[in-house]
């Protein structure tokens, strides 16, 4: 079962919740059912062009502001 990250429309609290089947997320702070799912950062492991292992996290990288169309330009 996936864990999703949400933000509450009413109290603006960010939270993570395990969603099972057709469950609907509710804010744990105020009980509001109007929440928005956020794009969560994730980590990944990739093989570089010469076979070396390259690890990165979207949260820790500067890729969010990158204007390049090719990730290989920044070395990740």
Which run of H or of E encompasses 45? strand 43-47
CB 18 within 8 A of CB 35: no
pLDDT attached to residue 61: 45
pLDDT digits (tens, 9 = 90+) for 62-74: 455 555 555 555 5
63 phi/psi in degrees, rounded to 5: -65, -20
Task: Return the residue matching tokens 């990288």.
Answer: 61
pLDDT digits (tens, 9 = 90+) for 52-63: 665 554 444 445
pLDDT attached to residue 19: 87
What average pLDDT does range 34-62 have in this prediction?
67
Q: What is the pTM (predicted TM-score) of this model?
A: 0.53
What average pLDDT does range 32-60 have in this prediction?
70
Cα separation, 15 vs 72, whole angstroms: 33
């Amino acid at each position: 079962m996936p864990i999703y990250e949400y933000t509450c429309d009413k109290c603006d609290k960010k939270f993570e919740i395990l969603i099972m089947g057709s469950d609907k997320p509710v804010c744990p702070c105020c009980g509001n059912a109007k929440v928005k799912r956020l794009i969560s950062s994730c980590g990944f492991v990739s093989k570089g062009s010469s076979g070396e292992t390259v690890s990165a996290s979207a949260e820790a990288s500067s890729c969010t502001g990158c204007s390049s169309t090719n990730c290989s330009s920044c070395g990740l």
